[in-house]
């Protein structure tokens, strides 16, 4: 008679598991044991059944299990501006369309409804954690808690007043207050989020350098996004933005540098030397014609690169599976090397590299015993994904977010057979339609 030795919460059986760590590992017909929100074991199916008895047992045939995807750069409330001002260059898009709309409409209500819309989209796309930058981050925190997701919320700072704060002092005070409030939250943490070198002056950036060190949190900033940004900085100050940030003490392992499409070899060497991270948003960069991040060069230099979607206003989605596909193809074209950034490396960029950038790699980013059970299940059984020779390659080059069927965060089942369990999809859609009519008026 078989004796069940341990009672646990959940067992998930899958055809394939790509744990990400160890590198290039792929398990066939393995299972994951989950208890108290953490991965208890990862073993062949029969070994798990011999060792554990679970309250819930799930079998996912033809599925690939991966760590929950980590979107390291987005502006979640901007989902309500999806498609509002397409086919325009960045500064025209910002100055003449996005910022005026924000000035008129952004409020706590706007941020809550937009954040819930974004959380729903991300969960259904297999994303379990995101790094956000927007006004009213305390309201986005409410949406994240309702969704049951994980997030790093940006403590935004910008030189001009907004509906959230009037000046640098107020931005920083409100940000630090939120950081203190979330200090004990297991799923939500914070990062300073000065918008960009061209919108934040030296004095506030110096203060952020000091506070980030004191509070031990990252600094998340748009940097070298376009050639115009760099040229304008040189024209006004004689310095490229990276040089300026380096003088201010911001280049360090705390720095999360978004976009980085305009880099010379000396700057790549400096990023590598200082340990800063690059948050790559290929689809937004392509759509806004911002330039190409030299990801293969960065990787060769030993720089940690993660992936983000940017906001739905400039992408126009929050689909990390699509982002992986684009990042893989673009890296090869830019490097003129078909071997650049193979599928396994791209999956790492969307998982463990993102966790490293956010300082969460001891908790998430790979399917390892002891880590949080943040898991995404992708169905590769459909005709569009057949035959399957290499499941990870199939994920990057063939699969889409419509193939995501189940998502867990800290062992909680947020997407069950493609249905959201924590969010009211109908109510979220109604709010999206309400804002569409209001913004169009």
The mean predicted confidence, pLDDT, of the chain is 97
User: What is the tens place of the pLDDT at every residue in 316-374?
Assistant: 999 999 999 999 999 999 999 999 999 999 999 999 999 999 999 999 999 999 999 99
Q: Determine the Cα–Cα distance for residues 176 and 100; give it in Å rounded to an integer.
A: 27
Is the pLDDT at 89 greater than 70, yes or no? yes
What predicted TM-score, i.e. pTM, was given to this entire model? 0.98
Is the pLDDT at 181 greater than 50, yes or no? yes
Q: Is 422:413 a contact under the CB 8 Å cutoff?
A: no
Average pLDDT (217-229) is 97
Q: Which residues contact 180 (CB under 8 A, 6 or more apart)?
A: none
How high is the pLDDT of residue 264? 98
| Class of domain 6-67+365-410 (CATH, top level) | mainly beta
Q: Is 133:156 a contact under the CB 8 Å cutoff?
A: yes
Is the pLDDT at 308 greater than 60, yes or no? yes
User: What is the tens place of the pLDDT at every residue in 385-398?
Assistant: 999 999 999 999 99
User: What is the tens place of the pLDDT at every residue in 116-131?
Assistant: 999 999 999 999 999 9
Q: Where in the chain is the domain with CATH 2.30.40.10?
A: 6-67+365-410
How high is the pLDDT of residue 1? 42
Angle ∠(310,315,319) on CA atoms, nearest 5: 80
**What's the length of the chain?**
441
CATH number of 69-357: 3.20.20.140
Q: Determine the Cα–Cα distance for residues 234 and 385; give it in Å rounded to an integer.
A: 49
Choice among 83-97, 203-217, 291-305 with the minimum mean pLDDT: 83-97
User: What is the tens place of the pLDDT at every residue in 37-80?
Assistant: 999 999 999 999 999 999 999 999 999 999 999 999 999 999 99
Confidence of residue 3 (pLDDT cuts 50, 70, 90): low
Q: Determine the Cα–Cα distance for residues 140 and 149; give it in Å rounded to an integer.
A: 11
User: What is the tens place of the pLDDT at every residue in 374-432?
Assistant: 999 999 999 999 999 999 999 999 999 999 999 999 999 999 999 999 999 999 999 99
Q: Where in the chain is the domain with CATH 3.20.20.140?
A: 69-357
Is the pLDDT at 94 greater than 90, yes or no? no
Q: Which residues contact 128 (CB under 8 A, 6 or more apart)?
A: 68, 69, 70, 149, 150, 364, 374, 375, 376, 407, 408, 409, 414
Q: Is 125:324 a contact under the CB 8 Å cutoff?
A: no
How high is the pLDDT of residue 90? 82
How high is the pLDDT of residue 4? 53
């Amino acid at each position: 008679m078989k004796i069940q030795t341990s009672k646990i919460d959940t067992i998930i059986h899958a055809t394939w598991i790509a744990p990400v760590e160890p590198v290039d590992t792929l398990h066939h017909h393995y299972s994951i044991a989950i208890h108290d929100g953490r991965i208890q074991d990862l073993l062949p199916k029969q070994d798990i059944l011999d060792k554990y008895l679970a309250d819930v047992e799930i079998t996912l045939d033809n599925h690939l299990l991966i760590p929950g995807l980590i979107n390291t750069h987005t502006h979640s409330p901007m989902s309500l501006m999806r498609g509002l001002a397409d086919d325009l260059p960045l500064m025209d898009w910002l100055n003449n369309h996005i910022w005026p709309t924000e000035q008129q409409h952004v409020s706590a209500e706007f941020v809550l409804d937009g954040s819930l819309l974004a959380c729903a989209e991300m969960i259904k796309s297999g994303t379990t954690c995101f790094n956000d930058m927007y006004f009213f981050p305390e309201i986005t925190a409410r949406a994240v808690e309702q969704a049951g997701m994980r997030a790093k919320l940006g403590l935004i700072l910008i030189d001009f007043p907004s509906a959230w704060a009037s000046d640098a002092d107020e931005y920083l005070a409100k940000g630090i207050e939120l950081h203190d409030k979330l200090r004990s939250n297991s799923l939500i943490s914070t990062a300073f989020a000065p918008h960009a070198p061209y919108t934040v002056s030296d004095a506030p950036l110096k203060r952020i350098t000091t506070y980030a060190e004191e509070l031990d949190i990252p600094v998340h900033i748009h940097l070298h996004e376009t050639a115009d940004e760099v040229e304008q900085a040189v024209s006004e100050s004689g310095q490229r933005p990276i040089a300026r940030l380096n003088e201010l003490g911001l280049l360090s392992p705390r720095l999360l540098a978004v976009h980085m499409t305009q880099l010379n070899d000396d700057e790549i060497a400096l990023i590598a030397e200082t340990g800063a991270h690059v948050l790559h948003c290929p689809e937004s960069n392509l759509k806004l014609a911002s330039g190409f991040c030299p990801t293969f060069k960065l990787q060769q230099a030993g720089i940690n690169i993660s992936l983000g979607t940017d906001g739905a206003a400039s992408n126009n989605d929050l689909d990390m599976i699509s982002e992986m596909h684009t990042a893989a193809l673009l890296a090869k074209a830019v490097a003129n090397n078909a071997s650049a950034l193979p599928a396994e490396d791209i999956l790492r960029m969307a998982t463990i590299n993102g966790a490293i950038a956010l300082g969460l790699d001891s908790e998430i980013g790979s399917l390892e015993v002891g880590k949080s059970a943040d898991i995404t299940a992708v169905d590769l059984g459909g005709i569009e994904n057949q035959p399957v020779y290499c499941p990870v390659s199939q994920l990057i080059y063939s699969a889409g977010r419509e193939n995501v069927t189940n998502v867990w965060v800290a062992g909680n089942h947020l997407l069950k057979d493609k249905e959201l369990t924590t969010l009211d999809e109908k109510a979220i859609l109604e709010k999206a339609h309400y804002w569409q009519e209001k913004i169009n008026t």
